[in-house]
Chain A
C-alpha cells in the first residue's frame, strides 16, 4: 500500500523537476552570463565574474531611457485598456443590443490580426498625426491586441457577478457612475488584476510595432536590446539588460500569482 502511494508522488516529482529544468535552464544561462565579463577590458580578464554589465546598464543614458520609455507606454496602454474596456465589457455582459455578436467577433478578429499586417499603414497614419517616436503612439497601437483581451477577460468577471448586485445598488439610490466606480470595480478587482497582467505582458514584450514606431527616439527596452547586437556583441551586457527587462514582469507575476491560478475562469 505504501509503495503504491509512494510511486506516483516520485513520478510526479520527476515530472515537475523535468519541467523546471526545461523552463529555468535558459534563465539560469541568462543570469550567469549577465554576471560575466564577455568582452575584454583593461584590467579585467574575459570570463571573470563581474557587476560591470549591470553598472553599464544603469550608466548608459540610452538604456536608462529605454526602460523609462517602456514603463511609460505600458502604463498608458493598461490605463487605456481599462478605461475603454470596462464600460464595453459591462455592456456586453449585461445587455443584448443590436450587433453585439458581430462586435464580439470583430474584436476577436482584431486580436487575431498579425501585427506585421498592420505595421505599414499604422506607421503612415501615425506619421501624419505626429505619433511616431512617442510612447503615446505605441500605447495606442498596442490596444489592437490588448483591448479585445481586456474586454474578453473583464466581461467574464462581470458576468460572474449576479445582476441583483447592480439592481440593489440602483435601488439604494446610487448613480450609475457611483455604482460603477465605487461598487462594481472593487467586486471585480481580481479580474482587473488579471487584465492588467495580460495587457502588461503583451505590451512589454511586443517587438513589431515597437520597432516601426520608434525611428529615432522613444525606443523601448526591446529595441534597446536589439541595438546592442553588432559586429562584436557584448553578450554579458545584453543578458544584464534582459535580466533588468524581466524585473517588472516578474513583479507583475508576483502580484497576480493567486489570481492567475484561481480567478481566471473562462465561461463556455
Chain B
C-alpha cells in the first residue's frame, strides 16, 4: 500500500518533536558543548578543545572497560535471545496456559531497577537467602565479592532474570501471529522442525527480533544500576563497565571528562545501532524476506 505524500503531516508531529527537543536534543547538544570544556562550577567553564577525548582514548582503562562491556553484551545476548525464542516456541504448544506464563515472565519487568540487584543479593545471602543457604549446605563456595567469575555469574543471572520476559513477550507475540496455514503447509511437505523454524518462523519474527537485539544490546552495553549495586565494579575492576566509569566521573564532579565519555559511549551505541539498522534494511529488500 502506497502512502500519500503530505507535508501537512508535520503538524501532527509537532507535540512529539517539542517534547523530544526539550528533553533529548537540547541536553545532547549541551553534553557535546561540555565535552570541550573544563568545568569548575556551572558558571565557570574553560575551553579545552578535544583534550578530554584524547585523554580518555589514551587511557588503557577505557579500552579495558569497553572490552568488558562488549563481552558482557555478547554473553547476555547469546544467552537471552536464543533462550527467549526457545521458550516462546514452547509456549505455542501450551495453548491457553501461555497467558499465565507470559504474566509470570513479565513480573521481573515491573521490579524497580535498584531492587533487581537487591533481590538477588538477598537471595544468595548465606544467612537469610534461600539460594545462599542451599549453596552453603551443598558445600559450594560462592563469593561474589572477591571472585570475579562469581560476580560475573551473578550479574548475568540477575540481568537474564530481569529481561528474559521482554525477549519472550516480543518473540511470542510475533510467532503467534503466523497464520496456521503456513505450518500446515510445511507439515504436508514433511518439513523438519528445524526447517520450519529456519524458513517460516525466523523470517516472520525477524522484525521483532531486531528490536529485541537492539534494545538488549543497548541496555546491556550501558548496564549501570545492577553492576554498581552488586559489587561497584569490583573485584579489582573486573566488572567496571563503561557506564560505571562514566558514573565515577559524574560523582567526582569531573563534568568535562564525564561529558566527553558520555559522547564517546553514545557514539559507540549509535554506530552499532546504525550499522544494525542498515543491515536489516538491506536484508528486508531482498525478495525472500518481504512479506
Contact = CB atoms under 8 A, between A and B. Distances in A.
Interface residues of B, number: 98
B5 interface: yes
A139 to B, nearest CB: 10
Interface string A58-70: 0000000000000
Nearest to B212: A266
Q: Tell me what chain A mostly uses at the interface: helix, strand, loop, or mixed.
A: helix
A140 B19 contact: yes
A199 interface: no
Interface of A: 12, 15-16, 19-20, 22-30, 32-33, 38, 80, 83-85, 87-88, 90-92, 94-98, 100, 103, 105-114, 116-122, 124-125, 140-141, 143-144, 147-148, 151, 163, 201, 204-208, 221-222, 225-226, 235, 238-239, 242, 245-246, 248-250, 252-254, 257-258, 260-268
Contacts of B194: none
A82 to B, nearest CB: 11
Interface stretch (B10-18, B46-54, B74-82, B180-188): B10-18
B106 A253 contact: yes
B24 A113 contact: yes
Given A222-B114, A261-B176, A125 B27 contact: yes
A222 B112 CA distance: 6
B15 A257 contact: no
Contacts of B42: 124
A263 B108 CA distance: 21
B5 A96 contact: yes
B107 A253 contact: yes
Contacts, number: 268
Interface in B244-291: 246-247, 250, 255, 258-259, 262-263, 265-266, 269-270, 273-274, 277, 284, 289, 291
B30 A121 contact: yes
Given A29-B122, A91-B13, A112 B108 contact: no
Given A207-B113, A261-B98, A25 B131 contact: yes
A147 B27 contact: no
A22 to B, nearest CB: 7
Contacts of A140: 19, 22-23
B105 interface: yes
Given A105-B277, A242-B112, 9 more contacts: A12-B93, A23-B107, A26-B161, A117-B28, A117-B246, A143-B23, A147-B20, A242-B115, A246-B110
